[in-house]
Amino acid sequence: MSDGDEADGDAVDDQSADPLDAFRRFFALERDVLVLSAAMFAFSLGFQMTSRFLPEYMVALGASGFVVGLFGTFGNVISALYPYPGGAVSDRIGSRNALTLFGLVSTAGFGVWLVAPRLGALSFGGVTVPAWAWIFVGLILAQAWKSFGLGATFAVVKQATDPSRLAAGFASTETFRRTAFLIGPVLAAVLIGLRSEFTVSFRFVLAVAVAFGALGTLVQHRLYDASDDSFGDSFAGLDRIREDLREMPAPLRPLLVGDTLVRFANGMVYVFFVLVVTQFFRVGLDATVALGGFAYDVSLSPQAFFGYLLGVEMLVALLIMVPASKLAERVGLKPVVAVGFAVYAVFPVVLIYAPTLAGSALPLSAVMVAVFAFSGLRFAGLPSHKALIVGPAESGAGGRVTGTYYLLRNTIVIPSAAVGGYLWDFVSPEVAFAVAAVVGVVGTGYFLAFGEEFEAYA
């Protein structure tokens, strides 16, 4: 997100290329992008407080590792199906109405997760629905703002940002969003520490997520100025989809191939990151902290420690995204995107093998902190990646182009978590993570070989 009134992409002060730039210029942003950033913060806080812990929640409610993998694949199905109609709805009825609708639905999803343990006691036709099954139902709703609203959020940033500053524009929205990614898991870790039983303490987290979802919906509905919304054609079913696929800008095709392979790799193992920490390594934190002449004993369960690890990951992401987007204005989008892809690709083997390689040289908790700090580097390429997707789109079609891109990518990625879940349960976690890394490296190599630069950055 740029500050909205600089038409010359070259007129960038080098001193602004730091992670705090987005915060210092917060109140100088375009109104629509400012409101979008606030809504992103609220929904991302709610989603990140909850989603990364859901596999552990499901296991606590009786699900197996393979069911967790199926849950990841179910999420991929939703991610594939939602963005295109969401983008089309946004182009047709305007971003304000679309995002309000998606916000209400998403908040309801958090509520279903909250009451899932009690809903598990319900029977239909003599069949008792397991509690973990309601987590699937909740995801159908909770994913709405994130996936249905994807095209709307891309379109708002494109409308308000000069083409040569798109990476900086997305870096600013991502800075606010990823700040929530930092605060959310840490806040969740604090709440999880309030009770020893995870299914009880995690419901505190879900209750707070419902509150933030309601707040985000209210903020975007009341403050968003819809007068500058651009409206495209209405959704015309499969014919419209086929036409959009044929008309996809050529520079997106090699990006799509490489991105799809990288995301397939990540999808194989993403839902198992929490289980690696809480069940595979069973690593928490027991330490004594000296502060102000006093010593404090710190004891974190593996579940709570995972929340702080996610906080470390997001702190690194916040520190790197804005400088990386500024670097893209000098070296181009492609190299920055490739670095992000490379970290995505190798992270699975780093996570699963680093503790073994480190041996007894470092405490396991310290190794995990370093591993998740490394993971934060993958977000360096995210703003540039988004700019590379929406940049070639024509005005008024940003939502549909984004939706089409993610429809293709996420459809292909659908089985990834089920594949990873099968390998996790029936072969070994090490094999699952190693295979994922190989797929990711192939995707990164393809993008390096054939990916095209957005001409505004060339």
CATH of the domain at 108: 1.20.1250.20
Q: Has residue 153 been placed in a domain?
A: yes
pLDDT, tens digit, 9 for 90 and up, residues 265-285: 999 999 999 999 999 999 999
pLDDT, tens digit, 9 for 90 and up, residues 42-70: 888 899 899 999 999 999 999 999 999 99
Average pLDDT over residues 105-115: 95
Whether 28 shows a pLDDT value over 70: the answer reads no
Of the spans 65-69, 143-147, 165-169, which averages the highest pLDDT? 65-69
Distance CA 366, CA 370 (A): 6
Token pair of 402, please? 């984004």
Q: What percent of the chain has pLDDT over 70?
A: 75
pLDDT value at residue 454: 66
Of the spans 38-52, 239-253, 399-413, 424-438, which averages the highest pLDDT? 424-438
Q: Has residue 28 been placed in a domain?
A: yes
Q: Has residue 137 been placed in a domain?
A: yes
Token pair of 156, please? 């708002």
**Residue (of 375, 349, 88, 408) closest to 234 by Cα position:** 88
Average pLDDT over residues 91-105: 78
Q: Has residue 239 been placed in a domain?
A: no
Quick one: pLDDT band at residue 168, thresholds 50, 70, 90? low
Q: Has residue 402 been placed in a domain?
A: yes
What is the domain count for the chain? 1
Average pLDDT over residues 397-415: 78
Whether 159 shows a pLDDT value over 70: the answer reads no
Domain that holds residue 422: 16-225+250-450
CB count in 10 Å sphere of residue 226: 11
Q: Has residue 104 been placed in a domain?
A: yes
**DSSP string of 250-311, one letter each residue:** TTHHHHHHHHHHHHHHHHHHGGGHHHIIIIIS---EEEEEEETTEEEEEEE-HHHHHHHHHH
Q: Has residue 241 been placed in a domain?
A: no
pLDDT value at residue 228: 57
Q: Has residue 5 been placed in a domain?
A: no
